[in-house]
Amino acid sequence: MRRTLSAADQAFYDRVQAFLQAHRPLGTGADIWLDPAWCAALCEAGFAVPDWPRDWGGPGFTATQKFLWHSACCERIEGFCESPAVALAGPILAQLGDAQMQKRHLPEIRQLRQRWVVALAEPAQLELNQERRLNGRLAWLTGVADSHQLLSIARLAHAQPARWAVFCCPLDRAGITVHTRRSLAGGEVFTLEFAAVSLQNTELVCELGEVALLNLPSHQLGRSGVAVAQLSQLDRVLSTLSEEPDLETKRDTAAVEVEALKAMEARYVDALQRGVEPPFPLQLLALKSASVEQQVGSLLMDSFGYYALPYPDLWLQHNEGPVGPAGARGATQAWLERTVSENYASVSRDLYGKLAQEQQDIGEH
């Protein structure tokens, strides 16, 4: 048993750290994919499509290297999330699309020039009829305002037993109406209404029966980086507070949870790297990482005390500067906004039912 990285992996780790030290995206969360300088730097350094194998035109990183990249991004970039184009659309097209479709889209995705919305939830509400027209709606989407293409699933009308079509089309196609609502995390959530939207033959990726098992990159590995970053923020707050033994005990409790998550990730990655069966289902890491993020996020809010109260939107709207004395308890306005939002984002992931579903999956397993 060896806890340390091999020389090759250590060199990769150093390369990743040097890259992230030198390049910092503008914005946080999904907004980082709108920063052309960041996207160009990723492409130039070979980190644009880190999970793609060589035969999709990716770098063919090992499981350990992918993990090192993702955990570093999660730790260093606020609210880091993958580009849906790279994480979902590309891999789906690479496995289900025809050569022409792959030629049309994969280079664009690989160069981070095309942004995609991937809508795989609630496909029953969208139907494709025999005239290749889409009717219905897709709900709970993010990133619609800034994306070019949509990849989704629609039920084939009149097909018995039920069959599904995977399709892609531009988001500005005639007949698609966008509705927006504010999310708990302060961002926007979209619903797309489809009224006889015409689909071309070249936009139909494939037809599916009930189950399709795809090799999609897993982004549960490396989420410990988020908790590590949160914990480090918490330590900065605690260092500015008068003695808070209760908070410190809670902090240490959370820190042990983070250590456990990191150790679980390391075991899982090691199994992937060695090509042996992982010690537990991947969903366990999804459950654990979400629960740890929520735990540390809540603790951050606790540590802010009264400074957790102001609502971020109002600060942005009036741009009145930091709340309270400058640097008081280390809580600057922007910093509060980011961390409070991150906490709400984490809670909202749970509200969407993802965790409950994952728990059920493991239970049945």
Partner 1 sequence: MDFSFTDEQTLLEESIARFIQNDYAFENRQKVIKSELGYSADHWSTFAELGWLGVPFSEADGGFGGGAVESMLMLENFGRGLVVEPYLATVVLAGGALKHGGSTEQKAAHLPGIVDGSTQAALAYVEPQGRFNLADLKTTAKADGDGFVLNGYKAVVLNGPAAQTLIVTARTSGEQRDEKGVSLFIVAADAEGVSRRDYPTVDGLRASEITFDNVQLGADALLGELDGGYALIEQVIDDGILAVGAEAVGCMEVLYKDTVEYCKTREQFGQPIGKFQVLQHRMVDMFMEHEQSKSLMYMAAMRLDEGYGPEAQKAVSAFKVQVGKSGRFVGQNAVQLHGGMGMTDELNIGHYFKRLTIIDTLFGNVDFHLKRFGRL
Q: How far apart are CA 264 and CA 270, in angstroms?
A: 10
What 8-state DSSP symbol labels residue 217?
P
| Cβ 71 to partner 1 shortest distance, Å | 12
Query: Comparing C-alpha atoms, which of 164, 166, 154, 143 is closest to residue 196?
Result: 154
Interaction of residue 363 with partner 1, rule CB under 8 A: yes
Read off the tokens for 252. Answer: 């240490």
> What's the closest the beta carbon of residue 275 comes to partner 1, in angstroms?
11
Minimal distance in Å, beta carbon 249 to partner 1? 6
Q: How far is the CB of 263 from partner 1 (least distance, A)?
A: 3
Of 187, 223, 219, 218, which is closest to residue 296 (Cα–Cα)? 223
Kindly tell me which of 72 and 168 has the beta carbon lying closer to partner 1: 72
**E runs forming strands in 233-362:** none
Paired strand residues for 194: 136, 176
Cβ neighbours, 10 Å, residue 351: 11
Q: Is 260 in the site for partner 1 (CB under 8 A)?
A: yes
Judged by CB under 8 A, does residue 259 bind partner 1?
yes
Stretch of 105-113, 138-146, 262-270, 314-322 contacting partner 1, by CB under 8 A: 262-270
Is 198 or 357 the residue whose CB approaches partner 1 more closely?
Answer: 357
Nearer to partner 1, 169 or 269 (CB): 269
- Among 285, 340, 345, 288, which Cα is nearest to 314's? 340
359, containing H or E segment: helix 354-364
Nearer of residues 121 and 263 to partner 1, judged by Cβ: 263
Q: Which run of H or of E encompasses 135?
A: strand 133-141
**Interacting positions 268-307 with partner 1 (CB under 8 A):** 269-271, 273-274, 279-280, 284, 287-288
Binding positions for partner 1, rule: CB under 8 A? 1-5, 9, 64, 248-249, 251-253, 255-256, 259-261, 263-264, 266-267, 269-271, 273-274, 279-280, 284, 287-288, 359-360, 362-364
